[in-house]
Amino acid sequence: MNLTKRLQCYAREIGLELIGLAGVQPFTSAQEVLWERRRRGLYNPFAPANIDLACHPSRVLPGAKSFVAVALSYYQGHLPRPEGYRGYMARFSWGQDYHKVLGLKLDLLQRFLRREAPNSQSLAFVDTGPFLDKEVASRAGLGWFGKNTLLITELGSYLVLGGLLTTIGFSPSVFEQRECGTCDLCLRACPTGALIAPGILDSQRCLSYLTQRRGYFPPEMRSMLGLRLYGCDTCQEVCPHNYRAPITPHGEFFPRGQGHWPDLVKLLSLDKQGFKALYTGNAAGWGGRTLLQRNALLVLGNIGEPDLLATLKESFCDPRPLIRGHAAWALGRLKNKRALQVLEGGAANESDPLVKEEIRSALKGFSGISP
Ligand code: SF4
Ligand code: SF4
């Protein structure tokens, strides 16, 4: 068995469902497209910051000859939604942090290559690394770019991508290129119109990105968030290539303590310690407590039930201005006399200019409503 075959067998043995090989020639067409997107303000903020470096792999690892692209599926199937006031987590964040899960397997793969070719060198990457993981995966024949900008494979698109850049020269994988055809389900399903054209995403309108970005959530996007607490799966849920996606064999991707539909009232009550206990090691945990609690307030505002008043009132007194500001917005969505009184009381005592502005906007929504 040659090294390529042995590598493929070993990858499957350690649970990597897809593996492909590719050359390291510069990604010249991707480079042009990405610079154009950056100029238009459409460059994905989570993509590599240095476009030119990302498009010239051998500048990152001198002597590099091949990419080993791999994918790990995380599709968990349909799990029941618990009762109560809950917010939806995107599937990638249900279980353990995927960087860690894939990182451990890449580590094993690196050791394997070092054993097989002791003088070789390799660099591992998951989505936050210096490379264009989807471009690499596509070049290695793992799948093709869907109109939702994600890589569509024989296992669907609920996949964590990554790989190795290595000085070992492998023959590139042979594959047949596919595309979406006339389907446009994802473009029509996107709640914010973030997919502005097939394969082009405006990150500033994408709820997945916005729920992971810190700071004030854009006011015009808040109601479109619906029940999404972290991430957004809509353009994947509607994709026909995911209808029969196999359930992941990796137990690490199934919900842990915090659940896949966390209880929002409980989430808001978590102090630093409580948050750490529930979210350390989870992909949603890295953004921190304030980010998830901010999102929880937006979802509660979208639920808008009067009996949430006590919870929102408590957040409206939080020492963190960002939490008070989003609690003000959520109180404004209750549109009842008691919420109005809480907001008016807060307006008198608030000193933070951004929170004051949130209160003013929330109060405007009460005009015409009889107390
Ligand atoms: S993740 Fe959600 S908001 Fe972003 S493009 Fe897909 S459907 Fe639209
Ligand atoms: S929903 Fe249709 S258009 Fe969108 S990525 Fe899937 S196959 Fe392509």
pLDDT tens digit sequence for 197-238: 999 999 999 999 999 999 999 999 999 999 999 999 999 999
What is the value of pTM for the model shown?
Answer: 0.92
Nearest CA to ligand 2 atom 6: 239
18-23 and 66-73: which strand pairing?
A: antiparallel
* Ligand 1 close to Cβ of residue 208 (< 6 A): yes
Index of the ligand 2 atom closest to the CA of residue 184: 3
Q: Among 18-22, 156-160, 175-179, 359-363, which is the least confidently predicted range?
A: 175-179
Instruction: State how far the Cα of 275 lies from the Cα of 293, in Å rounded to an integer.
Output: 10
> Are 74 and 98 spatial neighbours (Cβ–Cβ below 8 Å)?
yes
pLDDT at 69 exceeding the cut of 50: yes
* Ligand 2 close to Cβ of residue 183 (< 6 A): yes
Q: What pLDDT is recorded for position 44?
A: 81
DSSP summary character for residue 23: E
pLDDT category, 368, cuts 50, 70, 90? low
Identify the H or E element spanning 132.
none
Residue to substitute in 149, 153, 183, 237 for testing ligand 2 pocket (most ligand atoms within 8 angstroms of CB): 183
Distance 309 CA to ligand 1 centre (A): 30
Beta bridge partners of 154: none
- And the tokens for 25? 């020639």
Q: How far apart are the first and last CA of the chain?
A: 79
**Same domain assignment for residues 127 and 220:** no
Report how many domains make up the chain: 2
Distance 365 CA to ligand 1 centre (A): 28
* Ligand 2 close to Cβ of residue 190 (< 6 A): no
* Mean pLDDT within 265-289: 93
Q: What pLDDT is recorded for position 131?
A: 83
Any residues with CB less than 8 A from the CB of 274 and at least 6 apart, and which?
Answer: none
**Same domain assignment for residues 118 and 210:** no
* Ligand 2 close to Cβ of residue 101 (< 6 A): no
Full residue range of the structural domain in which residue 233 is found: 185-364
**Same domain assignment for residues 233 and 110:** no
pLDDT at 149 exceeding the cut of 80: yes
Instruction: State how far the Cα of 242 lies from the Cα of 11, in Å rounded to an integer.
Output: 23
In a domain, 274, yes or no: yes
In a domain, 89, yes or no: no
* Mean pLDDT within 94-104: 94
**Same domain assignment for residues 10 and 151:** yes
- Buried b or exposed e, range 158-191, using 16+ CB within 10 angstroms: bbbbbbbbbbbebeebeeeeeebeebeebbeebb
Ligand in closest contact with the CA of 146: 2
* Three-point CA angle 144, 172, 106, nearest 5°: 80
Q: What pLDDT is recorded for position 369?
A: 57
